[in-house]
Structure 1
Amino acid sequence: MSALRLIGFLFVLGVVIAPSAGIANPQLAQTPGARANMQMLEPQTFRGAAFSYDHEVQVVLPASYDVSGDRTYPVLWVLDSPLMTRTVVGVLDTLVMGNHAPEMIVVSIGSPAEEGLAGLGRRVMDFSPPGPDYFPPEPQGEAWRALAPLPQFPHKADDFLAFLVDELRPQLAQRYRFSGDHALFGHSAGGMFAAYALFQRPGAFGKVIIGSPYLNVVRGAVFDAETAYAATHDDLDASLFIGVGGDETDEYFLAISGIVSSATRLSETLHMRGYPSLDVRTRIFAGEDHYTVVPRIISEGVRHLWAEDAAELPSSWPQPPQ
């Protein structure tokens, strides 16, 4: 028998005899008829009340969704859809197969890929909190302006956050089986927005993954939001994963943006607050830059935020007989 046929035989055998022999399987094997991977639906177009342009939304359903009856699923909201969706889904497929994460629905938001970089440029408006401009405080601001003398543009983070939570979420919840467990993942400028959302709309996302964030831009607006939140709250009920690449300190633009130092500052500040209901995990990934770090942030972020759920899943490998 060939190795490939043997692997297939053992997998099928494990699925069949699991209930009686106690052999654990990937969670998908517990749902007869489940797909081998997640199902990427056709993109949909939505326009928020405060926007003059559309956002493209792609919903990706769990592999077991069509055959799981009325089961509900946690939702991972992903910013920068054209860049991040396929990476997030690929990582989730393997994590689910290994029982390192529960199945979940992915909702990705961004510009249509066909619009190219012009469409991606709107993300800066969507993600920017209120502020006088997009630059970091001095002296980094001076260095930024020398490289990229940005024009004035609308800062629509509050509008975009309201669109996600108050408009888009209720519409999608009528179509898909959301469990009420909502997480937000953003990277780079999206990481700045994810951090801002944590303080501006506490409770909107109980889990947040912040990747390589531009926290110093807009004159440190995210830290202003954190300070304002701390002044009126003594707790923050959320689970947070912050990840950056260690090599981001050695690229000039990212260095003057303070990617690593500002992410560390946010983590240290939150630990200092001592919020009893807040869980924070921070990782600096050695040898990774602003781009290569993305899959590691997604993988470790999901594994950390859903660690309790994953612990209830069986091992994905056959266990020794009892």
Structure 2
Amino acid sequence: MRFALSAAALLAVATAAPAVATANPQLALIPDARSAMQRVEPRLMQAEGMPYQHTVQIVLPASYAAQPDKAYPVLWVMDNAIMTSMVTGIVDILVSGNHMPEVIIIGVGSAEEEGIAGVQRRYMDFSPPVGGTFLPDGLNGKVWASIAPLPEMPQLADKYLDFLVDQARPALCAELRCADRHLFQGHSAGGMFGAYAMLARPGSFDDYILGSPFIAANGGAVLEMEEEFAATGQPLPANIYMGVGSEEADEWFLAVAGIVSGTAEFGNRLAIRDYEGLTLRTKFYEGEDHYTAAPRVVMDGLKHLFADEAAAIGSSWPTKPE
């Protein structure tokens, strides 16, 4: 038995009789659309006030060339080297099944061929400029410092956020057909940076997918920011999907990093505050660790955030005749 039908076969099935008229497979019904997204040659961009360049990987929707007048939401992916390929594969699958509309993906970070240098830069990119250290507070920080002390490094999250919103976004969207909806995806330290971005510049992104966020980083700077933000009484316009693996509580180093406890505390605070304009969905993934939780959070987050659009698109398969 063949695993999948071709686009032509799907089109033939979907248009064979009135009984299947409600089916609407997105790509099969778009003449000349590709079957999957298209990676563009990566480019380097220099952020103002930062001492190194970032690799930017653009991935275009499968129908981008076939629909020259259409604009697409933009999904910004942190940790380009290890996350962009995974996120692209998940988007391709979800679009094929009409679980979400097509999007432009922009991955930002180090290049895929880089090693430890890219990892070290991400610590600087994601580190809020407070506290003087990337480490957690209290017992967690003491244990971490005793086994894996970190060198002193610039804390550049404010400059990195400005680069994404004020520099990269207008430059790239001047050449790409970006719709007025920008989604953020980050995992671990990248997830913490998403929480920082939401509080430091409310409205900088419309939607957030935060996987296993390292909320305890920088002495719990994000929690302190949330406390200060709550005191202002401002609305917090954002749709958040946040997830973490249950096994992260038992893995020793992730326990040192406080991944599960930090995620729970941040989610609990947001739920209690009931900020105007904020929607929140938090999920704990039974049996998943820091790595296996990542694709599940991305997939479920995209399905959650695009649930209304998916319902409007409809099923990708013929429906049963009435």
C-alpha deviation, 1:233, in angstroms: 2.9
Q: Contact 1:18 / 1:25 at 8 angstroms: preserved in 2? A: no
- Match of residue 273 from structure 2: 273
In 2, Cα distance between equivalents of 1:156 and 1:201: 15
- Match of residue 223 from structure 1: 223
DSSP-derived class of the 1:320 partner: coil
In 2, Cα distance between equivalents of 1:314 and 1:31: 15
- Match of residue 79 from structure 2: 80
- Match of residue 143 from structure 1: 143
Q: Structure 1 residues 18, 271: closer, same or farther in 2, change over 3 A?
A: farther
- Match of residue 244 from structure 1: 244
C-alpha deviation, 1:307, in angstroms: 1.1
In 1, Cα distance between equivalents of 2:51 and 2:29: 46
- Match of residue 134 from structure 2: 134
Q: Which is further off, 278-287 or 228-237?
A: 228-237
DSSP-derived class of the 2:59 partner: strand
In 2, Cα distance between equivalents of 1:124 and 1:91: 26
DSSP-derived class of the 1:247 partner: helix
In 1, Cα distance between equivalents of 2:55 and 2:224: 30
Counterpart residue type for residue 235 of structure 2:
D
Q: TM-score, normalised by structure 2?
A: 0.95
DSSP-derived class of the 1:69 partner: coil
Where does 1:283-302 land on structure 2 (aligned, <5 Å)? 283-302=283-302
- Match of residue 195 from structure 2: 195
- Match of residue 59 from structure 1: 58
- Match of residue 97 from structure 2: 98
Gaps of 5+ in 2: none
DSSP-derived class of the 1:75 partner: strand
Q: Contact 1:28 / 1:64 at 8 angstroms: preserved in 2? A: yes
- Match of residue 42 from structure 1: 41
Q: Structure 1 residues 296, 5: closer, same or farther in 2, change over 3 A?
A: closer
DSSP-derived class of the 2:27 partner: helix
C-alpha deviation, 1:192, in angstroms: 0.8
Q: Structure 1 residues 15, 44: closer, same or farther in 2, change over 3 A?
A: farther
C-alpha deviation, 1:20, in angstroms: 8.9
Where does 1:244-263 land on structure 2 (aligned, <5 Å)? 244-263=244-263
Deviations 1:116-153 (A, max 9, x none): 12222100000000122111111211111111111211
Task: Tell me whether 1:118 sits opposite 2:117 in the alignment.
Answer: yes
In 2, Cα distance between equivalents of 1:106 and 1:170: 15
In 2, Cα distance between equivalents of 1:18 and 1:235: 50
Counterpart residue type for residue 161 of structure 2:
L
Q: Contact 1:14 / 1:23 at 8 angstroms: preserved in 2? A: no
In 2, Cα distance between equivalents of 1:57 and 1:123: 14
DSSP-derived class of the 2:313 partner: coil
Q: Contact 2:14 / 2:317 at 8 angstroms: preserved in 1? A: no
Q: Contact 1:78 / 1:107 at 8 angstroms: preserved in 2? A: yes
C-alpha deviation, 1:36, in angstroms: 0.4
Q: TM-score, normalised by structure 1?
A: 0.95
DSSP-derived class of the 1:102 partner: coil
Deviations 1:20-66 (A, max 9, x none): 95151321123111110011111011001111211000000111110
Percent identity (aligned):
46
Counterpart residue type for residue 266 of structure 2:
L
Q: Structure 1 residues 5, 211: closer, same or farther in 2, change over 3 A?
A: closer
C-alpha deviation, 1:18, in angstroms: 7.1
In 2, Cα distance between equivalents of 1:97 and 1:163: 33
In 1, Cα distance between equivalents of 2:41 and 2:85: 13
C-alpha deviation, 1:248, in angstroms: 0.3
Q: Contact 1:17 / 1:23 at 8 angstroms: preserved in 2? A: no
Counterpart residue type for residue 73 of structure 1:
Y
C-alpha deviation, 1:4, in angstroms: 3.9
In 2, Cα distance between equivalents of 1:77 and 1:137: 30
Q: Contact 1:249 / 1:255 at 8 angstroms: preserved in 2? A: yes
Gaps of 5+ in 1: none
Q: Structure 1 residues 44, 5: closer, same or farther in 2, change over 3 A?
A: closer
DSSP-derived class of the 2:243 partner: strand
